[in-house]
Amino acid sequence: MRHPSEGDLRARATGGEDAQVREHVRGCARCEAHLTQIERAAGLAKARLDGLGRGVQPNAPTVDPAKALQRFKATRVERNIGMTEFGKRRSLRPVLAGGTLVVALLAALLISPVRSAAIGLFDVFRVEKFAVITVDPSKLPVKMGEGSGGGHKGHGKLDINAFGTYEGPMKPEKAQEVGSLEEAEEVVGYAPATAGATLGGKSLSKTYVSKPFSGSYTFDTDEIRARLDAAGATSIKVPEQLDNKTFMLTAGRGVVQVYGTEKDGVLFAQGPSPELTIPEGVDMDYLRQDFLMIPGLPADLVAQIKEIEDWKHTLIIPVPAGGSSQDVKINGSEGVLISDPEGEGSFVIWQRDGKLYAIGGGISGPEALAAARAVEYR
């Protein structure tokens, strides 16, 4: 007999009688050791979980189903019989801001960077091209609005766990200042490109190395459904394939150089392309279709996304309505230039050989483009 699975060993460990498994374990030191480990883990978990129920007894009236149903109707249903009222009580801001987040998250999931590797059960994507779509938040199917600030968790702030569970740093970790690009190279392990001594007429002042990032998000479609329903967005379909699926985003160390002051200067940033890991069972094509079928999605937004023919290789960058953008070539590489509607600044991002580069801040579009094209790669 082949080595039994962990599941078979667990069944044996918890009293299951399978003659073949028993016989195998008796003559296999490896499986015997594994069985012992499984028995210990199962015993410990059971004992500790049993302990959660010891010494604490909820009050009988709270447990009583009939009384609980009365309280439930009084506090959760009758006062909130209409979904509008219900939504108000729960504080609209997180829900509505969250509605926009759903759109943004789905847009982010449309990302589609190049499928560069398959590791086990997961697909790993990296950015290769860019496309900008303009989004007017006021035209999204779930409107932004002012919350009442009442009662529900979040209290007017967007709860990052409104649609699932986020695991990762809650704030970006502070970058480490280094003395030079050479010092940065020692930390990041690759030779950073250089943009020269000045950018937009400003002199290089500081060089930072960012910390690597790793975060994951596990979607809870029941939670998304409930929140959309509560916001009255009952016709928005929540892709069931997302349920309990964990998406992971990782990014390596980047190098950021500041020209002029950090407040109104120009930044040159570079780093390995972030990697988005898509779990097994999530079909990005279907997800995209679900997204495009959201009722009430502005036609121009749908059209913009549909226009992205090679979407599997393209990172979609949502830009608020009013901003301008154009596709650009940076020495043969795909990039995009985004300009502030007020004309106060611009931002150019491009990729080359698996790394992303960006120049932005208080610099004009033509200057940013010229600077990007003058970057020297080492």
Partner 1 sequence: MAVSEAAWAAGGQQPQDFDALFLAHWAEVYRLLYRMLGDEAEDAAQEVFLKLHLKPPRPDSNHRAWLYKVATREGLNRLRSRGRQDGLLGRVKALLGSQDSEASPQASAELRDDQRAVREVLARMRPLYAQVLLLRHEGLEYAELAEALQVSKASVGTLLARAEQQFAKLYGDGEAGGGRQ
Residue 29 phi/psi, 5° resolution? -65, -40
Interacting residue with partner 1 among 1, 7, 289, 307 (CB under 8 A): 7
**Quick check: 15 binds partner 1 (CB under 8 A)?**
no
**Quick check: 303 binds partner 1 (CB under 8 A)?**
no
Region binding partner 1 by CB under 8 A among candidate stretches 104-112, 204-212, 238-246, 287-295: 238-246
Region binding partner 1 by CB under 8 A among candidate stretches 73-81, 200-208, 358-366, 369-377: 73-81
Smallest distance, partner 1 to C-beta of residue 245, A: 10
CB of 208 closer than 8 Å to CB of 214: no
**Quick check: 172 binds partner 1 (CB under 8 A)?**
no
Smallest distance, partner 1 to C-beta of residue 238, A: 9
141 versus 200: smaller Cβ distance to partner 1: 141
**Quick check: 27 binds partner 1 (CB under 8 A)?**
no
* Strands annotated E in 127-235: 129-135, 164-167, 176-178, 198-199, 202-209, 213-219
Interacting residue with partner 1 among 1, 22, 33, 42 (CB under 8 A): 42
Smallest distance, partner 1 to C-beta of residue 216, A: 10
CB of 137 closer than 8 Å to CB of 100: yes
Token pair listed for 335: 């990039």
∠ at Cα 305 (279, 311), nearest 5°? 50
**Quick check: 121 binds partner 1 (CB under 8 A)?**
no
CA distance 229 to 237: 10
Region binding partner 1 by CB under 8 A among candidate stretches 159-167, 185-193, 333-341, 357-365: 159-167
CB of 237 closer than 8 Å to CB of 262: no
**Quick check: 58 binds partner 1 (CB under 8 A)?**
yes
The per-residue b/e assignment along 314-347, b for 16 or more CB within 10 angstroms, e otherwise, is bbbbbbeeebebeebebeeebbbbbbeeeeebbb
| 3-state SS, residue 205 | strand
CB neighbour list of residue 17: distance below 8 Å, 6 or more residues apart: none
CA distance 311 to 112: 6
H helix or E strand, kind and range, residue 83:
helix 83-89
H helix or E strand, kind and range, residue 96:
helix 92-109
38 versus 132: smaller Cβ distance to partner 1: 38
Region binding partner 1 by CB under 8 A among candidate stretches 1-9, 107-115, 129-137, 200-208: 1-9
Token pair listed for 21: 């498994």
Smallest distance, partner 1 to C-beta of residue 19, A: 17
CA distance 25 to 3: 8
Interacting residue with partner 1 among 220, 275, 290, 334 (CB under 8 A): 220
Interacting residue with partner 1 among 1, 33, 63, 191 (CB under 8 A): 63
Interacting residue with partner 1 among 32, 123, 185, 229 (CB under 8 A): 229
CB of 273 closer than 8 Å to CB of 351: yes
52 versus 118: smaller Cβ distance to partner 1: 52
- Written as one letter, the residue type at 166 is Y
- # chain residues binding partner 1, by CB under 8 A: 60
Residue 36 phi/psi, 5° resolution? -60, -45
**Quick check: 170 binds partner 1 (CB under 8 A)?**
yes
**Quick check: 68 binds partner 1 (CB under 8 A)?**
yes
Smallest distance, partner 1 to C-beta of residue 192, A: 34
Smallest distance, partner 1 to C-beta of residue 274, A: 22
36 versus 289: smaller Cβ distance to partner 1: 36
CA distance 106 to 368: 30
Using CB under 8 A, list all residues that contact partner 1: 5-11, 37-38, 40-42, 44-46, 48-59, 62-66, 68-69, 71-72, 75-77, 81-83, 153, 159, 161, 165, 170, 218, 220, 222-223, 225-226, 229-230, 232, 234, 243-244, 246
